[in-house]
Structure 1
Amino acid sequence: MSKPFISLCPEITRAHALHLMDWLEDESVTRYLSDSRHVSRFIEQVIGRVQLPILTHLFNQGGRFFMAYDRHDQPVGFVRLVKNGPDCEIVLLIGSRDNWGRNLGASALREGMKLAFFDMRAERLVAKIHADNTRSLKAFQRCGFLPDGATPTLKSYAMTSAHYLQHLRAGTMGDSCQIHITEVDQARLRDLVALELDAHVVDLEHEIERAIVVDARQVARNVVTMNSRALLHLDDEKVEVALVYPQDADDSAGKLSVYSDIGTAILGYKEGDAFDWRIPNRTRRISIEKVLYQPEAAGDFDL
């Protein structure tokens, strides 16, 4: 059985707003959502008075709002992140009861953590959960959140940035496949990411930090390292690509920058690995059929 997959998308459309309205009309969905009435009223007003196809700027007032998609590109919930000084508060909801019990909430939470710590640079991520919401309490606990106070109705849980990185590097965040990266590649990529302020490197930084780091002379020959060439399956399409640094990228020659969606996706995976990865507007199934050339295996350590 495939592990649960969730991607978070920042663009909010009128169709999304209608999905939200449907979810918020179900009392079993909203009974633990403290501001559900306010949210419903806000969405109703937006749909009634704003005749725009894209509503992202309205939903991002006071925080950042993301629709949660499953691997079939269907909206299944939302995540909201609100920065308050060094802290960030997270609110998430899986909207349909049919999707409960599939661990989609924990998967959405992990994606929210990635954005909070790597994009918004929060020092702590905080959640305030209704004391009777056992499903959410268990999801946050499984992801490593620790108690951070309580009232008669709400329990607070928190995760620090340092604690998050510890879990990520220990491989306890539930990622589908382990990946490997050489010490040299890690150092070079960290230097590159440090110069970037854009959100497009969030996934790359996450992959660098979660990877198992190995000596360049000991990395397995079937791992996609920097400057490797590999034969991939992208859904049903077979393509040959080279994974390169941004200055060497040439899409027409199949040289994919590690900053690109597919480039970031394949870093550190090995022959036989298959996984889902969200690129703009859709999710793709990526499998590594064969590593055709790896510089470390060929003794080319100066690339």
Structure 2
Amino acid sequence: MNKPFVSLRPEITRTHALILMDWLEDERVTRYLSDSRGVSRFIAQAVDRAQMPILTHLFNQGGRFFMAYDRNDIPVGFVRLVKTGAECEIVLVIGDHDNWGRGLGASTIREGLKLAFLDMRAESVIAKIHPNNTRSLKGFERCGFLLKLETPTLNSLFMTSGRYLQLLREGAMAKSTDIYVTEIDKARLQSLIEFEQGAAIVELEHEIERAIVVDPQHVARDVVTMNSRVVLQLDDEQTEVGLVYPQDADERSGKLSVLSDVGAAILGYQEGDAIDWRVTDRTRRIRIERVLYQPESAGDFHL
């Protein structure tokens, strides 16, 4: 993959809080972070005050807080999204300075935008950045943010939902590998996700929006379409699965719902493609080994 893999996870534990405190004691990390002392003090108070191992509810007061993980499931930073009306502010930090320069910041921005626009349904996202924080400014600009306001102490950048969807469809907001979805599958899946919620729905909508739409009669034979049966390599394990709609799902017979983690992951990919994907709170490498059956190539256009 050309772009580093980052996943955002909402659960915050005491261990995470201690990691955050370590990051915020590094002057290189906090130099341009607004109210870094207040954030550090809040985290310390949360750890002292709460005896339970899970602190998610404390960190989500006034906004939504996520830990950012890399491909190896190691915490590398955090994202905070604060929505006011139709506008959402994004604040993010890559905590360990040894990770700077690896492209993790841009990947984390893209994951934050996915949640802000496709889950929280913001109409615009803003980022307020110190003008001397050139690394952060370049990261947001590379992700498509535009300058809204510039002062000696603060630059305000923004992106609208329309611009986000445009960049997503142009391939600037997603993984480097193109995926394909038929016109019929896209229409059916869009109708499906209108009535569903959850992390898998966000991922599926993201994939549908970025996919290249093709005529069912012209889709390549080795593309995973709905109701296809494929051989997958999940890390070191090989398995045969069918990609189906939720009402037809049956894990015992290997029929995976498109709303499941693996189901949403494989839609639209081709034989030989390999992707990193979060599956049940850990990152797995998924490779499309072989498409055993594809309805379109078999002439089963009714499926």
**Aligned residue runs from structure 1 range 1-303, under 5 A:** 3-303=3-303
CA distance in 1, matches of 2:203, 2:106: 18
The answer to whether the 8 Å contact 1:62/1:82 transfers is yes
The answer to whether the 8 Å contact 1:229/1:242 transfers is yes
Cα deviation digits, residues 89-123 of structure 1 (max 9, x gap): 00000000110000100000000000000000000
CA distance in 2, matches of 1:110, 1:281: 19
TM-score (norm 2): 0.98
Tell me, what secondary structure is at the counterpart of 2:208?
helix
State the Cα distance separating 1:2 from its structure 2 match: 5.2
CA distance in 1, matches of 2:63, 2:278: 23
Which amino acid is 2:94 matched to? Answer: I
Which amino acid is 2:247 matched to? Answer: Q
CA distance in 2, matches of 1:274, 1:162: 30
The answer to whether the 8 Å contact 2:265/2:277 transfers is yes
CA distance in 2, matches of 1:49, 1:142: 40
Tell me, what secondary structure is at the counterpart of 1:217?
helix
CA distance in 2, matches of 1:141, 1:150: 14
Does 284-293 or 148-157 show the bigger shift? 148-157
TM-score (norm 1): 0.98
The answer to whether the 8 Å contact 2:269/2:288 transfers is yes
Cα deviation digits, residues 19-74 of structure 1 (max 9, x gap): 10000000001101012101100011111111110000000000000000000000
CA distance in 2, matches of 1:230, 1:200: 20
Count of matched residue positions in the alignment of Structure 1 and Structure 2 = 303
CA distance in 2, matches of 1:263, 1:226: 10
Uncovered stretches (5+) of structure 2, i.e. residues with no partner: none
The answer to whether the 8 Å contact 2:126/2:156 transfers is yes
CA distance in 1, matches of 2:174, 2:206: 13
Cα deviation digits, residues 249-289 of structure 1 (max 9, x gap): 00000000000000000000000000100122210000000
CA distance in 2, matches of 1:298, 1:209: 26
State the Cα distance separating 1:234 from its structure 2 match: 0.4
Uncovered stretches (5+) of structure 1, i.e. residues with no partner: none
State the Cα distance separating 1:172 from its structure 2 match: 1.4
Tell me, what secondary structure is at the counterpart of 2:216?
coil
Which amino acid is 1:59 matched to? Answer: F
The answer to whether the 8 Å contact 2:3/2:107 transfers is no
CA distance in 1, matches of 2:176, 2:170: 14
What is the identity percentage for the equivalent residue pairs of Structure 1 and Structure 2? 71
The answer to whether the 8 Å contact 1:176/1:275 transfers is no
